[in-house]
Structure 1
């Protein structure tokens, strides 16, 4: 198996076992242990969609920056099959891929991408698949877009049972100037901030799910049954569904013909009078064409107010029964079809309507519908999954297979592999053998991720392979490096004894926990195989880099490290140490990046990766061959990046010139050594590399020590420091970061991390009962003298503040007695310091009715420090 490696531990997991054929007639909900995930590849760079070729031996998957990879399953080999030059600024790029229903005969596949060039447009193109790459592009459909700002591309492609092609498109609208509500800014020059011009525009292809019939000559025709007839110049006949925000992943029921999609919603945490509802993600079912409301409605047709962004004046709420698009940017019909409510809808907070989805970040998606009689394979999914629809969330990590009634409403939620951690699952596809192929984007936005994976899930009816759980105590460090490898938590579902085989370049060890010392500098790939007596086995490979100790980055803050309040003087100091770099003298402080940033809302802080990205130039450099010829500072085959930055820092055309050289190669500027070409690199990525290099000649951010005054009342402050060492020999440099977030001492009632038996909405906790609690994770109580609750409704209650759990160490307690009617309740904390998981517990034994309501929770400082 070819292994893609980038700096840290990479787990390549394989599995095989003796087993009986799958009993596809079994309707019993399967145990999670019957599903085995085997990892084909890791370290992917922004993967987007995948397809499995009809023979079941190859997988194609796309990456946003234009690459198309092919994974050969029998040989376990990955190759870059082809690449398409794409415009990849903001969220654009290569978004979707699908095989033609007659792929076996015609070898056609369809790709949705952002072409390079001056014209802002997206292409849906048909290509011919060949062994040597894509051939014969025919642009089937063009979707005009804007490229002045982000966001929301959609880009999922699926074929229905009738051979019709469905394509999702995003609203192509910037959401960050509307406070998480409806982006409907009609002021001159603000078109890109008005989603009425796209999603609710009957004459625009954006914010839609389109349905067309591809024709053999590369054109398309309009099928019957779309939302609009093709004879009205104010409508687009391609539209099947309109009123979408970012329908990022769609699915089709091959027997019922129903369409499913997840729609990523806006960010407002609370309802706001005269603006509209808090944000919701949606998961939708369309049995027929329709309008789903965005940006006039969200969720269960919760209506936004019409709003004047110039004056701040609000007007009447939109009417879902008779929606009207009054925007000056609307080029379509004024009167829209009645808005349809979402099938499933959920905010950031927990919701009693759909408690299964939990709380946290949101990114709803849909997947393919399974029918066991359409697949042949010994390890295909059982009949239990027939007709069930995948509903998964990219952020929260859950996957449900939903059973739907004839109206398309969920009647049963089957949690799929709930104890398996999926790292931002972005696509899934059933192969011809009935196994499920998964693509995980990874946890870092706009970057290569070690936990970005291509994998397959098999259903094992007989002997189950062992569950391998192994870790390394350290993966990078100076030589000699002693590492403890621990697989003691591995186990076997069938109760078999396990055999452990550790292979250290031919040296074999057999205990569950082993210690091994790497004496020489270099990169090592120890491998563990855990097997049972029936032939079931799992394997995991580690990557151990010896010779370069990672730098240590610290931000020391005097006083509390969790909260700020207006006028707080935050005294801080950034400290960096590195074993190898300091052998050549002190750390060069000019190479330490440090910045203090403020985010107006917690939503912006959570959506940091979603905002206009600064592409990872350093990340790109490390993923290519650049470090073989260049160092950041110091001699090598080519000039150091510091030298390049100094030479070109004042050149007006430096970015274009250097980006061209990176892509096309060149020589003669710095000597006789020619620079290698990188023809598969997009121009945007090359410019990202150049911008990083040129930044080395610029002054770095905020001072590394000082006192910062927090002037704001709301939002979040981020103290962020990073340092990349110089590497050592053939070992790549190591980049380490340290972030400290400060949140306001006074939090809305519903701004907590977890809860039990409460209802929260509109910025407050509305329903509290005996035994209810809310919790705050990893809160620094240094300098905090107590908690103060701002109350909305007062009834007798005991409030306890505890550490670790609702039954943990008591930190403080107070009570409202019968007849008392305070507007707030303060709980003093005695001697609490350091970081705690803080639980605020509400009690009133013997009372079943609701207790108090809480508007805000304040962590009171001892002083303004």
Structure 2
């Protein structure tokens, strides 16, 4: 796995020590001094990690597995496992080393044991080279297992040797419309977080603080939230009023506690009910109550709510919160609520504009102090005292400088140009480098982009950046491939040397071409060196199976459809290997579909690659992949399931695009979808168009005539074929498609322009010599162009030209107040065939002011093409 990681350092930065003096550094380090080194990929629900002082890394998996990575041998192995109950969010959640691990080999786990008793358990084990030994149960937390959600489960030790354990509210949030789950109806206890998070006599929805003793018991340290022997309080509680404090950290010097709390889902405030959902980053300088489920964010108060009658009462008072739920077994009068230090909804938020928008999942990472490490490449002292705050779904990491009250006063965004796929835990190792695990983009499943990695800081000479491409990776023999690493670079300006190892040959040019004559699978590798550091990357080239060719051929005009057009089409598939078989290509395995999409913005291109990537790029830039996969299980339905469910729904684009913006749940189960209130309706429609294009293909003949019946939008004719492979070479699937856009185009959908302003579908600022250009227009069967104008103002000649503003003129319109009446003008064309850019040039040399406003451009077909 590690050979396939881009930019992997050949020489691992070890745990070696030096006597370098830690000098104070005030300048933020360059991002290029940090390198992500991937050790392992394709992990199965990793949860928490520890870095051992024995050059090894342990990490847990939610379903009970414990993996070990040996930094010396670069090997990932199955270290051990703990039998766990792993339905819903339960399982193996947390792990931490004893502060005296080097002497006693003790390690702590928080997990859901199998069996009839609904509990979560904190246990101590002894680490041995051959697995865990000698479980000692430290603490058990009673829970309910009938309903989802929120386990917490992070374990950390403070500098004073005290153990901190986070627990979730263990409450179903899905019947509360994204507001406070405080259902006091008899039999609905699992829907009432007042019984857990705001219950002084319950260990759930808390961060506990205890002192483990050598005999396996624990004692209560001084300074917890409740210090007396009141039977209505639990003395283990340090912080209460948490929803799901999934990752916590402790400042080893100041003793401050940090955690991210994952908030509820309501996308809007509701009068009489309470605030929209917020995620929180919290700081506890001393013990306290942090509000859930009575408050969220900056102590925004919920209203008491009668779930049986759907009526609201008074808002809770953060100065004097009262828990009067019949499910509460603790004190009714709670401590004053503490507000979060950072809080943010789905939408953009003026108070914290750097936090982007979309799904939310706040996490707390470690606090860094450079003088705790004496290694060659520990992080610089610029980070001293800064705590890491990150968001699991939004993918960013910040090192925060805090004031004496824990408020953020400086935000350093860490490696903003590096992609992280749902970071779930991170820890500084003995070498002063940052280790992390990424859960990956699909929930409750194995993910290829779930990774164990390390962020190395390079003090001195930086390794080169390897950027290499292959012209093709699959084809029939003889197979010619061009290798190109010429875009590789070195931030220190060092001369680069290239060593390509390809099929037993060595090449030293940055770019070259070679031919593979023999069939088989090859693994070309590039070693790139700056004279001090070497990085490498391995590729895969499969020779012997030529990818199939798939085309959708449209007879006549290949750009447009119009009212009632009879589109003659044919799907053409060829495959070098399958065509040679006795039966040839199995045409029943050719997938073909014709679909209409209402969105009409096709200005970017007509090709499916660009159109699909438009919606796909929007998805990649949001949090969608955290809940949905292309196929297979995750916390939400797969894209293909959505496409197949809504493929025949005429209102699907409208309904789903608004669902993406507003969020909500109930269609595919209780899990709510994140709201995206800052997304435009146009972008949401593009996302839906892309998703709907992924459904099962309907059965249209592979050749025939299809009559268009829609006005506006676009039609997609799409085909795909997977060949049969060859020998040990796997099958290859290729697709082909043809888009037809509506022949009436809004003026603002041009591809390029000069001295033009356009908005709301209109070109509304046109001067002498202004022009707009539409790329790759097929003029076959087009007789004329009809220009619809909103205002003629001072008037203009409109010259229609091929190519660009200086190209061949194929039509001219004179639109002047005195020359025309009405709001449209037809221009007959002198050339009506071929694909070309079409440019509209506006001319009136006598005027310096605005000439005309163009609303629509209609490409009129010939009579015999109707």
Query: TM-score category by the smaller chain?
Result: 0.5 to 0.7
Does residue 1:715 correspond to 2:659, yes or no? yes
Q: What do residues 723-750 of structure 1 show as CA deviations (whole Å, max 9, x unaligned)?
A: 9989876667899999xxxxxxxxxxxx
Q: 1:217 to 1:401 in 2, by over 3 A?
A: same
Aligned to 1:304: 302
Aligned to 1:812: 760
Q: What do residues 604-639 of structure 1 show as CA deviations (whole Å, max 9, x unaligned)?
A: x9887877999968x9xxxxxxxxxxxxxxxxxxxx
The aligned runs of 1:667-816 (5 Å cut-off) are: 706=648, 708=650, 710=652, 714-716=658-660, 719=692, 721=695, 810-812=758-760
Structure 1 stretch displaced more, 29-38 or 362-371:
29-38
Aligned to 1:47: 46
Q: Is the 8 A contact 2:441 2:626 kept in 1?
A: no
Q: Is the 8 A contact 2:268 2:276 kept in 1?
A: yes
Shift of 1:703: 8.3
Aligned to 1:231: 229
Aligned to 2:767: none
SS of aligned partner of 1:201: coil
SS of aligned partner of 2:760: strand
Aligned to 1:267: 265
Q: 1:707 to 1:526 in 2, by over 3 A?
A: same
Aligned to 2:563: none
Q: 1:536 to 1:242 in 2, by over 3 A?
A: same
Which residue among 9, 15, 27 is the counterpart of 1:14?
9
Aligned to 1:210: 208
Of the two, which has the highest radius of gyration?
2
Does residue 1:240 correspond to 2:214, yes or no? no
Q: Is the 8 A contact 1:71 1:77 kept in 2?
A: yes
Aligned to 2:122: 124
Query: Gaps (5+ residues) in structure 2?
Result: 553-570, 596-617, 661-687, 698-720, 765-788, 792-822, 825-866
Shift of 1:804: 10
Does residue 1:30 correspond to 2:29, yes or no? yes
Instruction: Tell me how far apart the structure 2 counterparts of residues 33 and 390 of structure 1 sit (CA, whole Å).
Output: 19
Instruction: Tell me how far apart the structure 1 counterparts of residues 145 and 332 of structure 2 sit (CA, whole Å).
Output: 26
Aligned to 2:526: 528
Instruction: Tell me how far apart the structure 1 counterparts of residues 529 and 374 of structure 2 sit (CA, whole Å).
Output: 28
Which residue among 354, 357, 371 is the counterpart of 2:355?
357
Instruction: Tell me how far apart the structure 2 counterparts of residues 219 and 274 of structure 1 sit (CA, whole Å).
Output: 47
Instruction: Tell me how far apart the structure 2 counterparts of residues 140 and 576 of structure 1 sit (CA, whole Å).
Output: 68
Q: 1:414 to 1:443 in 2, by over 3 A?
A: same
Q: Is the 8 A contact 2:369 2:381 kept in 1?
A: yes
Instruction: Tell me how far apart the structure 2 counterparts of residues 784 and 292 of structure 1 sit (CA, whole Å).
Output: 58
Structure 1 stretch displaced more, 466-475 or 259-268:
466-475
SS of aligned partner of 2:200: coil
Q: 1:98 to 1:411 in 2, by over 3 A?
A: same
Instruction: Tell me how far apart the structure 2 counterparts of residues 112 and 405 of structure 1 sit (CA, whole Å).
Output: 33
Which residue among 403, 413, 416 is the counterpart of 2:414?
416
Instruction: Tell me how far apart the structure 1 counterparts of residues 493 and 158 of structure 2 sit (CA, whole Å).
Output: 44
Instruction: Tell me how far apart the structure 1 counterparts of residues 193 and 477 of structure 2 sit (CA, whole Å).
Output: 57
Which residue among 536, 541, 553 is the counterpart of 2:538?
541
Which residue among 119, 134, 151 is the counterpart of 2:132?
134
SS of aligned partner of 2:234: coil
Shift of 1:49: 1.2
Instruction: Tell me how far apart the structure 1 counterparts of residues 735 and 210 of structure 2 sit (CA, whole Å).
Output: 48
Aligned to 1:453: 451
Q: What do residues 659-715 of structure 1 show as CA deviations (whole Å, max 9, x unaligned)?
A: xxxxxxxxxxxxxxxxxxxxxxxxxxxxxxxxx9xxxxxx99958975655495952
Q: 1:385 to 1:578 in 2, by over 3 A?
A: farther
The aligned runs of 1:270-669 (5 Å cut-off) are: 270-472=268-470, 485-515=483-513, 523-533=521-531, 535-544=532-541, 585=586
Query: Gaps (5+ residues) in structure 1?
Result: 556-574, 595-601, 620-691, 693-698, 739-779, 788-799, 817-826, 832-865
Q: What do residues 640-677 of structure 1 show as CA deviations (whole Å, max 9, x unaligned)?
A: xxxxxxxxxxxxxxxxxxxxxxxxxxxxxxxxxxxxxx
Instruction: Tell me how far apart the structure 2 counterparts of residues 114 and 576 of structure 1 sit (CA, whole Å).
Output: 56
Larger RCO (alpha carbons 8 Å, 6+ apart): 1
Q: Is the 8 A contact 1:126 1:137 kept in 2?
A: yes
What is the number of equivalent residue pairs in this alignment?
A: 657
Q: Is the 8 A contact 2:68 2:78 kept in 1?
A: yes
Shift of 1:189: 3.5
Q: Is the 8 A contact 1:306 1:316 kept in 2?
A: yes
Q: 1:785 to 1:584 in 2, by over 3 A?
A: closer
Instruction: Tell me how far apart the structure 2 counterparts of residues 805 and 37 of structure 1 sit (CA, whole Å).
Output: 42
Q: Is the 8 A contact 1:121 1:144 kept in 2?
A: yes
Q: Is the 8 A contact 1:812 1:828 kept in 2?
A: no
TM-score when scaled to structure 1?
A: 0.67
Instruction: Tell me how far apart the structure 2 counterparts of residues 304 and 806 of structure 1 sit (CA, whole Å).
Output: 54
Instruction: Tell me how far apart the structure 2 counterparts of residues 552 and 325 of structure 1 sit (CA, whole Å).
Output: 68
Instruction: Tell me how far apart the structure 1 counterparts of residues 406 and 265 of structure 2 sit (CA, whole Å).
Output: 27
Q: 1:318 to 1:801 in 2, by over 3 A?
A: farther
Q: Is the 8 A contact 1:15 1:36 kept in 2?
A: no
Shift of 1:423: 1.8
Q: What do residues 395-418 of structure 1 show as CA deviations (whole Å, max 9, x unaligned)?
A: 222211111121111222122222
Q: 1:179 to 1:587 in 2, by over 3 A?
A: farther
Q: Is the 8 A contact 2:99 2:157 kept in 1?
A: yes
The aligned runs of 1:146-165 (5 Å cut-off) are: 146-165=144-163
Q: Is the 8 A contact 2:644 2:696 kept in 1?
A: no
Instruction: Tell me how far apart the structure 2 counterparts of residues 64 and 420 of structure 1 sit (CA, whole Å).
Output: 26
Q: Is the 8 A contact 2:66 2:79 kept in 1?
A: yes
Q: Is the 8 A contact 1:446 1:616 kept in 2?
A: no
Q: 1:731 to 1:12 in 2, by over 3 A?
A: farther
Instruction: Tell me how far apart the structure 2 counterparts of residues 336 and 61 of structure 1 sit (CA, whole Å).
Output: 38
Q: What do residues 250-277 of structure 1 show as CA deviations (whole Å, max 9, x unaligned)?
A: 1111111111111111222222222211
Q: Is the 8 A contact 1:803 1:809 kept in 2?
A: no
Instruction: Tell me how far apart the structure 1 counterparts of residues 752 and 322 of structure 2 sit (CA, whole Å).
Output: 52
SS of aligned partner of 1:419: coil
SS of aligned partner of 2:446: coil
Instruction: Tell me how far apart the structure 1 counterparts of residues 284 and 574 of structure 2 sit (CA, whole Å).
Output: 57
Shift of 1:380: 0.9
